[in-house]
Amino acid sequence: MIIFRCILQTLSVAFLAVIWFAEWRLLTRDLFAIPDHQPVVEHRSAPPFKVAIIGAGAGGSSTAFWLSQAVKRSNHTTAIDIDIYDKLSYIGGRSLVVSLPDVAPYPYHVPVELGAHRFGLHERHLMRAAHEFALPLHRITPLDSNFIWNGRELFALPLSMWNTLRLAYRYELSPSVIQSLIQRATRIASSMCNIYKQNSVIWANTADILHRLNLTELVTSTTSDYLVRAGISTTFVKDFFQYGTANDHATHALQTFFALRSAGAEYRVIGGTNRIFEEFAIRSGASLFLNTEVKSIEYAPDTNNWKVNVSNGTKKYDAVIVAAPLYQTNITIPKHLSCQIPSIPHHEEHITILATRSSSINHQFLNLSSGVGDIQYLAFFPVGEAWSFPFSELSYVREASPGIWIVKITSRSHIATRWLSEAFNGKIDWVHRHTWTVPMMAPPTHLPHFKLAEGFYYLSGFESVISSMEGQVVAAQNVVNILWGDMFNQNVCGGDRKTGAHNINNDDIHPQVSTTGGSPGQVPAPVKQPNNGNAAICERQDCLKAVASTTTPSTTQLAANMSLAEQILSINGHLNNTGLLLECVAKQLVRTAEVLAKLQYLKEDNSSAFPKDPIYEFFETTGQTACGI
């Protein structure tokens, strides 16, 4: 019995020894696997690439969004931190909304646009963004009571047939002249479509893309000069342009023709078009620093980055993008950069918003005929020395509630409260004033590069070529393409960086008119490109949509041309006297073509429903996130 117990204890000790040895080997295995001379490596992630964007308007907010889209589509793992600075308290720049007070007799806050807010079907990025962000659109329809006042006579639009014939005879507006101008406008619009091509070049400066698209002549010419070269009589140009632009730099022709892209139909976002730019900023994931004024930007050679100095501190960045006009920012930058940015002439534009119980402007106060009925839109085109009107445009925006109208007045100077009271029969309940600083779109003397130094980019130089919300979004995409190309040799769409003139050829710039599938010379319908995952914005579709013809084949072309002519000479947003003059000129051309061709004018459908434009239908059917938006 004793021997059995001893054997059992010996086996127990041996078993415990084996278990202890096994555990010891397991615990020391990693120790034996690592030689004494090999250090343990600590893995750390690369620091993020930091970008500062100065300005939270259309350009700045869309720059942040383009950057975020480039990150999503890139095969690189580098993180990016985006900071947006703006001295104002809101996102949107010159796109701003004010609301009526929520007191009687107003039933609710009624938003009213103070600045830029209109965009057309073929301003692709804005239309795409509104669709992607599910922002409701309202079609801007013309008012029934439109009048033009030249200081002597009051003209109702559309003009009567007698006035149309009289103007056509006086100004020698023959069908051949009109046709020539329409062909020029069509070619210009087609050229500008190339900006939206997925494989379009990255432009180092604006002069480069203008040259590639054969648009240099338009930027270097005033609209008046361009029209004279196009065959419009000097008498017509003098009567409609000389006096209207006497105190202003004449607008260059490209800014004028840019309005062709809307093809007559314009829209705004319900609640404020600035909602698009708010969405851009929010969806980019950027950090917002509103009410923060940037004092200076300087290069730090010791750390090879840029320092952005604000009132409460300094922050360093790998890249800085200035997306606000430098003359409005008061930001100090190194002299070798500021000398590359040309001075842009600008002027003040006063916006007066009021709520009135008067359904029309006071006829007697303005020495107008009492027999013309209610006047809810009045544009002032001074002729000769008739400069007595204090405004350039007066428009009844909408009826906020029964018997309460919202009126917007655009002027070059402050309008006195007494004048407003007399003009609206003493029935004013509320007034709001705002002053903008806007560029004078004269032919520029110098066009800056987008990249002024390594890591420093200036976006707002493009505004001297096309001053519009869409133009800023286009320029923002180009700047991000440059920056992303510098970092990873890629573009926003995730493809290889494209440079060189070979990406835009003569066929792109001057597309051949269709000789099949319709009348000779008919504008071809937009082409739906196959969906490859990067559809819509980054693919090219022809800007000009074909007019659905209900006329005989012999009149199809002229009918389409008349529809296009409606917008030949209007300026986006009607922001100044020149824009209003151009709109009037365009209307005369359309009416003249109507009479001389003996065709019934193709009137625009005033339905507020969203149009089934081929481009919009393409967005709906693909169901894909477009490369652009």
Query: How high is the pLDDT of residue 318?
Result: 96
Q: How far apart are CA 87 and CA 79, in angstroms?
A: 27
Nearest 5°: the CA angle 493, 495, 499 is: 100
What residue has token string 């965009």?
119
**Same domain for 340 and 351?**
no
**Same domain for 337 and 304?**
yes
Nearest to 173 by CA among 596, 602, 614, 627: 596
Query: How high is the pLDDT of residue 4?
Result: 58
**What would the two tokens of residue 223 be?**
């609209």
CB-based contact 459:321 (threshold 8 Å) = yes
Mean pLDDT (10-residue bins), the chain, 629 residues: 62 59 54 45 70 97 96 84 96 91 61 88 89 92 64 65 68 73 75 73 83 87 84 73 46 75 73 95 96 96 94 95 91 94 86 91 76 74 57 84 88 91 91 91 86 95 88 94 88 64 29 29 29 30 27 36 36 35 46 38 32 34 41
What does the pLDDT look like over 93-128, one tens digit per residue? Answer: 999 998 877 655 555 567 889 998 988 887 889 999
Identify whether 186 is part of a domain: yes
**Same domain for 279 and 407?**
no
CATH number of the domain residue 389 falls in: 3.90.660
CB-based contact 611:121 (threshold 8 Å) = yes
Nearest to 614 by CA among 524, 521, 515: 524
What does the pLDDT look like over 352-403, one tens digit per residue? Answer: 999 999 988 888 777 776 666 777 777 776 655 445 567 888 888 888 888 8
CB-based contact 486:499 (threshold 8 Å) = no
Q: How far apart are CA 624 and CA 629, in angstroms?
A: 10
Query: How high is the pLDDT of residue 598?
Result: 32
Buried b (16+ CB within 10 A) or exposed e, 404-442: bbbbbbbbeeebeeeebbebbbebbeeebeeebebbbbb
Neighbours of 580 (CB within 10 A): 21
**Same domain for 287 and 316?**
yes
Identify whether 601 is part of a domain: no
**Same domain for 403 and 467?**
no
**Same domain for 189 and 331?**
no
**Same domain for 225 and 358?**
yes
Rama region for 224: left / alpha / beta (φ>0; ψ in -120 to 50; rest)? alpha
**Same domain for 309 and 354?**
no
Identify whether 169 is part of a domain: yes
Q: What is the largest CA-CA distance in the chain?
A: 139
> How many domains, in total, are found in the chain?
2
**Same domain for 187 and 163?**
yes
pTM of the model: 0.72
Query: How high is the pLDDT of residue 332?
Result: 95
**Same domain for 141 and 230?**
yes
Residue 6, SS3 per DSSP: helix
Which of 421, 439, 457 is the C-terminal boundary of a domain? 439
CATH number of the domain residue 335 falls in: 3.50.50.60
- Name the residue range of residue 299's domain: 49-92+270-345+444-488
